[in-house]
Copies of this chain bind each other. A is one copy, B any other.
Amino acid sequence: MHKIIFIVFFMISIFINAQVLYSPNKDFKMEFSLEDGIPQYKLTYKGEPIIKKSQLGLELKGKKLVEDFDVLGSSTSTFNETWSPVLGEYSEIRNNYNELLVELQQQDSEIKLNLVFRLYDSGLGFRYEIPAQKEIHYFELMNENTEFNLTGNHKAFWIPGDYDSQEYVYNETKLSEIDNDKLNLNNGVSVKSIGGRYVVQSPLMMKTEDSIYVTIFEAAVDNYPVMHLNLDKEKYSFQANLASNTVGSTAFLRTPFHSPWRTIIASDDAREILSANRMILNLNEPSKIEDTSWIKPMKYVGVWWEMHVGKSTWEYGKEENGILIPNGKHGATTENTKRYIDFASKYGFDGVLVEGWNVGWEDWFGNWKEDVFDFITPYPDFDIKEVSEYAKSKNVELIMHHETSASVSNYERWLDRAMDLMNEYDYSAVKTGYVGKIIPRGEYHDGQTMVNHFNYVAKTMADNKKMVNSHESTRPTGMHRTYPNYVSAEAARGNEFNAWSKGNPPSHETILPFTRLMGGPMDYTPGIFEIKMNHYNPNSDFQVHTTLAKQLALYVTMYSPIQMAADLPENYERYSDAFQFIVDVPADWQDTKILEAEPNDYVVIARKKKGKDEWFLGAITDENARNFKVKLDFLNKNKKYKAVIYEDGKDAHWKDNPKSYKIRELTVDSKTVLKLNLAEGGGTAIHFK
């Protein structure tokens, strides 16, 4: 449903060198000015400066679009529309902004550059546009000079600006303390390409001394690198920082050109930051897929966690003199897959992911090797026909797995044949993986080439009516509005790091919604019940930094329309009462209410199941125990609900006693105030029906 309510558009007199734009609710004020020919902007929120005067400009090869500008003209307009995402946290999203278009021309060259500012009630989006013109057709972008001059030494929640990985633990420091050289990088991340000592990733969440929350991010990245941020510590100023390509520039482009949107979201209420991820979606283009009826939410289990805990292997065996010698521990066997299918069918899961089904795993990692997988040849103990038919008979779908080992050139060679296989066996979704150094060699995960690749895969999958859930991709920037089949991504440090490294601290899942999830759903793979790895290996002291109840709450706090129940079937069946929450929770929502939130501390979210009068609540905390008093005023006023509450046991503790939980039932209504008690590293999950 796209309902354009009204658009106002009027030209403002030419040659004005300063322009003011307000958000619809007047909370934000953006001022554009041209000083000594240099375009600049500043942003205030409720009268307080958020971004001080900051320069804008692009450096093209042979042409600097940074100074000597005149204003040729400008215009403002207002936009107000409500639209419905195919899958989402909300069934309807309002897209309401005031826009300022500034048309610039360089004095001597007559090169034209436009700046477009959109001010929403939640913040600012702006982008560069280079119109079609004689002077510029094809061009090479060297640098983007966008500045974000901050107002002080804010607290920042940051990870290093690594062009090849976002799988880091967050650091919470003052801006002045950002320093990649001081990080312990022994963290399980295999490929690192950090852009500089003071380069951090966007989305970058900050909090001022006056408790204003400020996030710098971007939206709608297509045919352009994703944006990192390079800190000038003297000035508390960030500059856009883009991964280079193999020839030392950042992007090959042509006019008419527009950059991705650069965004600044701010609020004095942390909860509003979390709901402002809708602004990122609004800045993306509407769906390019006409018939979206085949795009469906999916809950799934998979032959996956058992490899992470060392119970089985991705590889069938070891190659010796050209012959594959089985190791007897291969996970993706016909038999084992059938066991997962039986389990999925019994509990109503939509899908079964099978990793390690195909030849190549015996020598896939670490050698920058181009020809690893062909995406069509199963291992000898995986009978794809038999398994597919069995799944179909049990009303379960198999989820394809394409680990590319970052050999993208090879994946693109094989993609059409891989599609043929998926079509032959009716796979409707694929999990992709990009572990390793990129081939074409010299490219980065976050460069233009790879951004184009991820969008190419999304488009190719759409042409074949397949959904894609990409791991180790660039982090999303709302493109799932445009390609709603790009249902989820990883692109952050997921749950599996807990199985084989020092893992993710209890606070990790409380910062992700403020950072990674601003750009789109994350396939975090929650639901681990056997929390300590000594369950599998007596010598291991690795563990998930969680209580069992918190793992349930993540199904609400960590939005993904393709959502995994990551643990092993046998572990779920040992805790079948707790498992019931995972069975009940949906992956697609009618509405979302952010009830409590503080970055890196806690998040409490309630969501309504799409098309049903059922609500689910997830509350999670960091390493500190917390109590929340939650008003249930989001419930239908005229109804009573049964609340099934899955919460930490009294003695629960992420480290000392993580599996302690209790389940209780209450009758509640919209006037009820519920008290939630979360243990250290704990959580609460509630089903209101």
Residues on A close to B: CB < 8 A?
137-138, 245-247, 252, 254, 367-370, 409, 412-413, 415-417, 440-443, 449, 452, 456
Contact = CB atoms under 8 A, between A and B. Distances in A.
Contacts of A245: 441-442
Contact of A413 (B247, B368, B417, B456): B456
Given A254-B367, A409-B409, 9 more contacts: A245-B441, A247-B442, A252-B368, A252-B370, A409-B412, A409-B440, A412-B413, A416-B417, A440-B443
One complex includes copies of this chain to the number of: 2
9 contacts: A138-B369, A246-B246, A246-B247, A246-B440, A246-B442, A247-B442, A370-B452, A409-B409, A409-B412
A340 B413 CA distance: 34
Contacts of A369: 138, 252, 254
A452 B409 CA distance: 12
Contact of A367 (B138, B368, B416, B417): B138
Most central of A137, A245, A369, A409 by chain B CB within 10 Å: A409
A246 B409 CA distance: 14
Most central of A370, A415, A441, A442 by chain B CB within 10 Å: A441
A252 B367 CA distance: 9
B138 A246 contact: no
Contacts of A449: 440
Nearest to A437: B247
Contacts of A138: 367-369
Contacts of A456: 413
Contacts of A367: 137-138, 254
A370 B246 CA distance: 14
Nearest to A140: B368
Contacts of A137: 367
A62 to B, nearest CB: 14
Nearest to A370: B252
Contacts of A412: 409, 412-413
The 4 closest A-B pairs by CB, nearest first: A246-B442, A440-B440, A416-B416, A138-B367
A456 B409 CA distance: 12
Contacts of A370: 252, 452
Contacts of A452: 370
Nearest to A371: B452
Nearest to A456: B413
Nearest to A137: B367
Nearest to A248: B442
A310 to B, nearest CB: 25
Contacts of A441: 245-247, 252
A245 B246 CA distance: 10
A368 to B, nearest CB: 6
A369 B251 CA distance: 11
A248 to B, nearest CB: 9
A604 B440 CA distance: 47
Most central of A254, A369, A416, A452 by chain B CB within 10 Å: A416
Nearest to A412: B413
A361 B413 CA distance: 24
A445 to B, nearest CB: 15
A417 B414 CA distance: 11
Nearest to A413: B412
A368 B440 CA distance: 16
Nearest to A132: B321
A473 B621 CA distance: 61
Nearest to A368: B252
Nearest to A252: B368
Contacts of A247: 246, 441-442
Contacts of A413: 412-413, 415, 456
A138 B440 CA distance: 17
A271 B415 CA distance: 49
A348 B247 CA distance: 50
Contacts of A440: 246, 409, 440, 443, 449
Nearest to A321: B132
Contacts of A409: 409, 412, 440
A16 to B, nearest CB: 30
A138 to B, nearest CB: 4
A343 to B, nearest CB: 36
A320 to B, nearest CB: 10
A240 to B, nearest CB: 22
Contacts of A443: 440
A450 to B, nearest CB: 12
A459 to B, nearest CB: 11
Nearest to A138: B367
Contacts of A368: 138, 252
A622 B442 CA distance: 47
Contacts of A417: 416
A369 B138 CA distance: 8
A368 B442 CA distance: 17
A370 B440 CA distance: 14
